[in-house]
A and B are shown apart, each in its own frame.
Chain A
């Protein structure tokens, strides 16, 4: 689960990670109220959407830049009016963009140097890893690719936690000295505590900055959480912003369906994540483009199949549907009955190819054949994929 920058910074402050002073507004009337909380002087205006690349983004009304530096609070207030309520398109949002519903004003800090700092899971070692670099404020992939010697990684033993010698190692590698070193060490320790205590999946600070007076601050904050652990963090669940999520994905989650929208035109409905992923792959292999990832789970009940069809048909790009069910334990005839009922209930007009395999498959196929529906049966995944690709071509 992702949260906004202003929410992430509130968590940082709670754990003693310094951030520039800031305030949010969700209405034009709220701008001055928020700005009243900040001192007069240079101010940043930051559009709050979950996607990155905001600074270089463009609004659909033509206004450029979702993050702006302003010399005065009055200028900041005028600038915010260009952003609030408008749709920001960035490299990460896709062409549809995201509507900006919250503006975050912060004090514009004087920057001495920018750094990069992130904490996440290292899958190879099954341990948390701190990734840091002296090259902040730029794309970190570029640093990893071009100057990997400027990227430092520290693996943390979960039995002990972040050790002091590891913090020192990082401080030396990043070149901090004096009061900066002391402040940076404290920030790193507190940030790790925030990561561990909140069940974060990833924390990224880009840039982390030093100021001429020796302060070390998190200038930006990107935080995501392990969705498996949300049950023990109601305070984090409360930060969820449904405006930032695909409405079809929200609907799918209500029926325990795992759905991810893609931009192709062949929808698929599959049981099991691995099979769902490879169903998308095989559609592409035979020249089609998948419209979605949809895993109905092990059961594939009638209600789930109906809900899945409705969600799929909500995507206007869809020109055909491929159902691929491997009924291992589940009776294929029960699944077939569910598919027939669902197709009748939603009044499906699009080409439909169904590939059923597994337990009691003969009865399942007979049910599909006797339904009077204009569906096509596929024998193997390859056969089914080729048929649906041909039908939508």
Chain B
């Protein structure tokens, strides 16, 4: 029915007493998400109150997980402390840590990723909008909303969405919902060069999920994660897949000098990625307005029903 999270998933919010974390904790509670604990070191024993909700705050992730049985945490901690917050989730043995924080130093993420090798915890992000499994209520409420995505644009159904970009994910989800096509789970993997879960990891999960009938894969210039995912799809995935790559007009080498181009290879331009998508049987969205339609074309060609 979904990947990674279900409407029953219990979540912890790290940084629940901050403006950003608090605001989105409230929106998740309104959506019907099981926000069962907050973590703010030094504020353990207090409560985060919203309407009829009274969420206990703990000093550590381990305490919060032990007391509530939560297996997932979402991180709204400021950049200098975010790497530490992720490692705390690993140490507490959580299944999933979702890092929303934007601006974590790359070196911190290099070390975190190395430290996570062999651990049971999966990391989503950082610098990501989070993950949503829509519910069956009004405006998809009753689902699990982790992060900062607008809940109401979703609809429960059978399409999986994975993207590096927040607003492009919303754009795709909105197009689908407007066409009455629902989603199993929508996953934002984040825009940073060093992140936890990548496109391919999510594609594999969608492929294995019987409720997911079709997939939208949204990528960007830089790196070769999309290419890797596309090649795997060609070899292993029979579900309809639509793809979009942002950044065809982005000026080359703006973020990194030319040594980056060597390591990244020639496959990290938009044109190269789009060519690989086509070669791998992925229906390419010509413009960002075409993402849902592209998936419909692919589904039709494969005789798959998305609704």
| Chain A residues within 8 Å of B, Cβ to Cβ | 52, 118, 120-124, 126-129, 131, 139-141, 144, 151, 153, 157-159, 196, 199, 201-202, 204, 222, 224, 226, 228-229, 231-232, 260, 262, 270-275, 277-285, 290, 293, 298, 326, 328-329, 357-359, 380-383, 385
Contacts and interface: CB of A to CB of B under 8 A. Distances in A.
Interface in B244-290: 244, 246-251, 254, 256-264, 270, 286-290
25 contacts: A52-B257, A52-B258, A120-B256, A120-B263, A122-B263, A123-B193, A123-B194, A124-B263, A126-B114, A129-B263, A204-B257, A228-B104, A232-B105, A274-B169, A275-B171, A277-B249, A278-B168, A285-B287, A290-B249, A329-B27, A329-B148, A329-B150, A357-B174, A358-B153, A359-B152
A228 B247 contact: no
Nearest to A385: B287
A280 B105 contact: no
Q: Which 7 A-B pairs have the closest CB atoms?
A: A274-B165, A272-B167, A328-B150, A229-B105, A275-B167, A382-B289, A274-B168
Interface of B: 27, 79-80, 103-111, 113-115, 148-150, 152-153, 163-171, 174, 191, 193-194, 218, 220-224, 244, 246-251, 254, 256-264, 270, 286-290
A298 B80 CA distance: 21
B111 A158 contact: yes
Contacts of A328: 148-150, 153, 166-167, 170
A248 B287 CA distance: 29
B80 to A, nearest CB: 7
A144 B265 CA distance: 9
A356 B111 CA distance: 41
B163 A274 contact: yes
Please report whether the interface of chain A is mostly helix, strand, loop or mixed according to DSSP. mixed
Nearest to A357: B174
Contacts of B249: 262, 277, 280-281, 283-284, 290
Contacts of B223: 123-124
Contact of B262 (A151, A231, A298): A151
Contact of B191 (A123, A151, A273): A273
A199 B174 contact: no
A278 B107 contact: no
B254 A326 contact: no
Given A280-B250, A285-B286, A358-B150, 5 more contacts: A126-B194, A141-B261, A270-B167, A275-B165, A329-B148
B88 to A, nearest CB: 18
A125 to B, nearest CB: 9
A199 B103 CA distance: 13
